[in-house]
Structure 1
Amino acid sequence: MKPETRSFYEAAVLRTIGQIAQSLDRALDLAALARGAALSPFHFHRVFRGMVGETPLEMHRRLRLERAARALLTSDAGVTAIAFDAGYETHEAFTRAFRQAYGASPSAFRQGVLDPRTGCMRPPQPELAAPSGVHYCDDPTRELVVHIATKESIMNVDIETLPALRVATVTHVGPYNGISAAFARLGALVGPAGLLRFPEAAMVAIYYDDPEVTPPEQLRADAGLVVPADVALPAGLGEQHLPAGRYAKTVHVGPYTGLGDAWSRLMGEWLPRSGQRVGEGHSYELYRNNPTNAPPEQLRTELYLPLA
């Protein structure tokens, strides 16, 4: 694609995203968006989805749900009022959509605030994964940051050969952004057992299913802690072994809310252009610090993808 052509489409997409972000309190007029982009509706939706990773309507619905999730965590507003603000005509319809996206009812999500004293803390996450990096923000003065994939924007990835790891685990089933509850259960078990004292102790999240093909409520993951090979595990903890081998590694610096986007870029941008193939084993995150000892902008999370 010629630079001037891509610039035209990027400008049209960026204008549209700005309009979507400012239209959360009203229904989306898709025909008007297409006219504003100077494209036919047929071509507009395909260009938008190809460059952003979701349709305008999907983005609109996701941003409304993210706003609702943040309201559940930060306000005392009733669930029904939040449902109406999110564009749903009934409490039941909102609850179904919310549960599908977050793996929990609105009330359960609101109650999932973690004890900050635990050493295995991962706060509830209102943001849903989006390759574009566009998320709801309640600050109207904050600049909208949009990621549109180009050859020049490929993320920094290293290929490393790693040893095997033994991991004490707690199982999570549901959308991956709801794994914070499993980390809370993990902390309640590994802290009293003294497992955090070992030098190799590090929090990890292990992912077993592809969110592109597996329904959100069926996604499987483990919240875990790396432990020595010869240490006995207390009751209530499972055990997994991450095999030695070649892994693609990238580092995400910043809030955990950006991890879903980082995985989308790793799998959707870097991998297809890398010449590498996914190998046996499971993808996982390794947390080099956590919210108890670092501010959100300094959180360091390593993402590992097994390679053949």
Structure 2
Amino acid sequence: MKTHTRQDYLQRIDRVVALLQSAVAEGDELPELAQLAAAAHLSPFHFHRIYRALSGETIGQTVARLRWLRALQLLAEPAERVTETALAVGYETPQAFARAFRQTFDATPSELRGQQGRLHEAMQRLRRPAKQDAAEQAFEVEVVSVEPFRVVATRYEGEYRELDQAYGRLFAWAAERALLERLAGIYGIAHDGGPEALSGRGAFDCALAFEGDEVQGDAQAQPLQLGGGLWARWRHVGSYDALGALSDRLIAQWLPDSGYVLRDEHLFRHFLDDPEEVPEAALRADVYLPVARC
């Protein structure tokens, strides 16, 4: 079967951007998720995550960037009025447009229109996503088969750097049920929250695995199944706070040319060390990507 190269993936992202750009330029409704995923030949399940990893921005950020680019293109036309420009890029009033414009460009629309050099420089900058750290990182990845296993999980929503409190509540739940002596592993599942989802925040399942008999869940913690099938495993050493951004980079740098594609399962993390006992620089975690051969 066809190997999906990095260039192939980037061309898919370009098709998505072209669809969004056309909708913004015409003032049409934005395409639905299914349409965007189909244009990229990607599963809707992982579409937002792959798009963010490869483009360096969320769908929402792309739309905002393209709308500002369209606004500047219209302002570059001498006959175009600010009111019409505001309406064309989705603002209900020119006043709201002017406020947002000043926050973005540190100038009013009329001021920037009068500075053609600055106007065109801003347009050029908006044609591509903001430059990301392009430093390549060597990812030592192995593809392994993982037998299905059960965990008990509780859902947390917010900044991932506050996850220790959510895990604390889950450990307290397990302690009340005399389960800690059977603890077999600490896991986490980061959920992709949609077009605005940024690495480092959103919905996250804090999970514990236990040896022995299956643990029954309740309103506070529910049973989940992880594993099953092939998984690309990469070990991270260092702060757990970096795992979201590094997982995106793993997808962007390893997945293309790997000979694998992502399956419709959630990525999960296996935390091997306790941050309260191990120095941050020495913390270890295994990141698992669900994959299938191309």
TM, length-normalised to structure 1:
0.49
Letter in 2 for 1:288: L
Residue equivalent to 2:172? 188
Structure 1 or 2: larger strand share?
A: 2
**Could you tell me how far 1:185 is from its partner in structure 2?**
1.2
In structure 1, how many angstroms separate the alpha carbons of the residues matched to 2:145 and 2:156? Answer: 28
Give identity over the alignment, percent: 26
| Larger displacement relative to structure 2 (296-305 or 269-278) | 269-278
Letter in 2 for 1:222: D
Q: Select which of 272, 278, 287 maps to 2:262.
A: 278
Letter in 2 for 1:227: F
Residue equivalent to 1:239? 223
C-alpha deviations, 1:248-303, integer Å up to 9, x for none?
Answer: 11111111121122112122322234231111321111111111221111100111
In structure 1, how many angstroms separate the alpha carbons of the residues matched to 2:238 and 2:181? Answer: 25
| Larger displacement relative to structure 2 (204-213 or 166-175) | 204-213
**Could you tell me how far 1:156 is from its partner in structure 2?**
2.1
Residue equivalent to 2:275? 291
In structure 2, how many angstroms separate the alpha carbons of the residues matched to 1:177 and 1:170? Answer: 16
Residue equivalent to 1:203? 186
3-state SS, counterpart of residue 260 of structure 2 = coil
Please say if residues 243 and 281 of structure 1, whose CA atoms lie closer than 8 Å, have aligned partners that are also in contact. Answer: no
Letter in 2 for 1:232: V
In structure 1, how many angstroms separate the alpha carbons of the residues matched to 2:106 and 2:257? Answer: 33
Residue 260 in structure 1 maps to residue 231 in structure 2: no
Give 1:11-50 correspondences, 5 Å limit. 40-46=121-127, 49=130
In structure 2, how many angstroms separate the alpha carbons of the residues matched to 1:211 and 1:251? Answer: 26
Give 1:62-77 correspondences, 5 Å limit. none
**Could you tell me how far 1:223 is from its partner in structure 2?**
0.3
Residue 163 in structure 1 maps to residue 147 in structure 2: yes
User: Structure 1: which 5+ runs fail to align?
Assistant: 1-26, 32-38, 53-131, 133-147
Greater relative CO, 1 or 2 (CA 8 Å, sep 6+): 2
Structure 1 residues 46, 149: CA separation in 2 closer, same or farther (over 3 Å shift)? farther
Residue equivalent to 1:121? none
Structure 1 residues 307, 212: CA separation in 2 closer, same or farther (over 3 Å shift)? farther
**Could you tell me how far 1:47 is from its partner in structure 2?**
5.9
Look at both structures and tell me which one has the larger radius of gyration over its CA atoms.
2
Residue equivalent to 1:225? 208
In structure 1, how many angstroms separate the alpha carbons of the residues matched to 2:177 and 2:290? Answer: 31
3-state SS, counterpart of residue 258 of structure 1 = helix
**Could you tell me how far 1:239 is from its partner in structure 2?**
0.5
In structure 1, how many angstroms separate the alpha carbons of the residues matched to 2:179 and 2:271? Answer: 16
Question: Aligned-pair RMSD on alpha carbons?
Answer: 3.3
Please say if residues 193 and 203 of structure 2, whose CA atoms lie closer than 8 Å, have aligned partners that are also in contact. Answer: no
In structure 2, how many angstroms separate the alpha carbons of the residues matched to 1:211 and 1:302? Answer: 24
TM, length-normalised to structure 2:
0.51
3-state SS, counterpart of residue 176 of structure 2 = coil
Please say if residues 152 and 208 of structure 2, whose CA atoms lie closer than 8 Å, have aligned partners that are also in contact. Answer: yes
